[in-house]
Amino acid sequence: MACRAAGEELPRPCCNGYSELAPADMRRALVQERPEKHSREEAAEGGELPALEDAYLSILEGLGENPARQGLLQTPRRAAKAMQFLTKGYQETIEDILNDAIFDEDHNEMVIVKDIDMFSLCEHHLVPFFGKVHIGYLPIKKVVGLSKLARIVEIFSRRLQVQERLTRQIALAITEALKPAGVAVIVEASHMCMVMRGVQKMNSRTVTSTMLGVLREDPKTREEFLTLIKN
Amino acid sequence: MEKGKLGALLEQPPRSVSCNGYALEEKPQQQPPPPPPAAPSRALERPRYSQGTSARCLDSWREERTRSEEDNEMNLPSLAAAYTTILRSLGEDPERQGLLRTPWRAATAMQFFTKGYQETISDVLNDAIFDEDHDEMVIVKDIDMFSLCEHHLVPFVGKVHIGYLPNKQVLGLSKLARIVEIYSRRLQVQERLTKQIAVAITEALQPTGVGVVIEATHMCMVMRGVQKMNSKTVTSTMLGVFREDAKTREEFLTLIRS
């Protein structure tokens, strides 16, 4: 079978049918705008904290509040640390968390981890969006530790995100790590930028999904996944 | 932030509002603010507390802080600059496509989330108080509330239930929700928010009693820190006959539960 990514005929599938993305594109979509290693480490050490605190102090003043009142005295520091926590995904890499937890198992039935709580920040308004992530994959000889799926969700969600990109990044990360027969990721979230401001629709939810491999090509497999996450 | 700005902040006479519009007891005299620290003034070197600057609180809910639309426009560029700094400090690239207009959007969003500072109770309530010979309990429940935690600048969301026993004067029902909006669209603490709503209704209507219950989920507890997903915080303020008479309070609590 000809593989567009490898560019030649191979005795067995080389990328399990994920031929819509060349490896370079896949890596770029996966990595997104990850900063250079030195700035990541500097951020992790708290080197940026004073600048963040000053920025939050300006914000408090710009909103007409009095930053010297008791309740707001430590707010710039707390808000800066909170924001660093909410974007800690920038400091973590998939290799860090997945290194040892891929196991050889002779299992080729669907594995699903559903209802993973997800909290992220909308990159357009810097306002939270949160919801649940459902992940399913069909392993080929390799399975991953179950909590690692939730950790992959954490890495990509603790960033400034767009829900569509988040979904795709989770799916591509699992693909790269395991080379399974198929991966499906569904994210269902409520966006505070729509609930607290703007159109102010309280009960609206946004659902995005990424289906790769056999979960994209075979409707019955996809249907099995969608049914299993519904119950 | 330029050097000396924090020092100047501490040297200025405190602004008229230091406690978000909620009155504690009036201090007899105003103490002078403490001298600014000698070290370069950064947020880190700010004194842990400063009794002088926060001494003077308001003496009435009526004395609202008013921010105007012009203030909003004037402050928008500095807010946007602050957000650009935040993006850069987090390790992001503010020039990439998704983040190009984010400082402006985030600044406008934050101004919207604190628009309660632009509104006063008297604006909202002026015409909607009616004389009615009704002395049974009036309840408006499940009012969606969205506020910002003043400690972490992270949202907390929930529902407000309000009940009052009118004394010849009733209030337009949507005005109760508007009172909630005015006080919740600020940097808040849930306890203070509850009390402010109750005190505002009391002062406007002089009812026999007022009860306010707020049940909220704090994102600062859910998204960070202890990370307890399902926790809810419930605060209540009971004034007048709601506080003194257990049966009235029980009727209110039963009716909001169902």
pLDDT of residue B34: 52
Could you give the CA distance from residue B135 to residue B101 in angstroms, rounded to a whole number? 53
Could you give the CA distance from residue A154 to residue A133 in angstroms, rounded to a whole number? 10
Q: Do A82 and B110 touch (CB under 8 A)?
A: no
Q: Hey, what amino acid is at A58?
A: S
Residue B30 half-sphere exposure toward CB, CA atoms < 13 A: 13
Answer yes or no: A61 catalytic. Answer: no
C-alpha distances out from residue B76 to A60, A196, B105, B112, Å: 12, 20, 10, 12
What is the nearest CA distance from B243 to chain A, expressed in angstroms? 28
pLDDT of residue A26: 53
Could you give the CA distance from residue A167 to residue A210 in angstroms, rounded to a whole number? 6
Of residues B15, B99, B219, nearest to A66 (C-beta): B15
> Which residue intervals of chain B are DSSP H helices?
5-11, 69-89, 102-113, 121-125, 173-184, 190-205, 219-222, 241-244, 246-257
Q: Do A64 and B105 touch (CB under 8 A)?
A: no
Query: A182: Cβ–Cβ under 8 A, 6 or more apart, which residues?
Result: A16, A137, A138, A211, A212, A213, A214, A215, A216, A217, A218, A221
- Average pLDDT of span B142-168: 96
- Mean pLDDT check: name the lowest of A64-73, B41-50, B69-78, B178-187: B41-50
Residue of B111, B149, B161, B196 marked catalytic: B149
What was the ipTM of the complex prediction? 0.78
pLDDT of residue B123: 85
Of residues A55, A86, A90, nearest to B223 (C-beta): A86
Query: Best mutation site among B17, B89, B218 for testing chain A: the one with the most A CBs within 10 Å?
Result: B89
Nearest CA in chain B to A157: B223
Q: Do B82 and A55 touch (CB under 8 A)?
A: yes
Helix A163-178 / helix A146-157 crossing angle, nearest 10 deg: 140
What pTM did the predictor assign? 0.77
Looking at residue A125, what DSSP letter applies?
Answer: T
Answer yes or no: B152 catalytic. Answer: yes
Query: Best mutation site among A28, A41, A61, A66 for testing chain B: the one with the most B CBs within 10 Å?
Result: A66
- Average pLDDT of span B39-59: 38
Looking at residue B95, what DSSP letter applies?
Answer: T
Nearest CA in chain B to A58: B82
Residue of B151, B203, B244, B250 marked catalytic: B151
pLDDT of residue B52: 35
**How is residue B256 written in tokens?**
């909001």
pLDDT tens, A143-161?
Answer: 999 999 999 999 999 999 9
C-alpha distances out from residue A145 to A132, A167, A177, A186, B180, Å: 19, 20, 12, 19, 47
Of residues A66, A74, A82, nearest to B224 (C-beta): A82
Q: Do B20 and A69 touch (CB under 8 A)?
A: yes
Beta strand A128-138 with A111-122 is: antiparallel
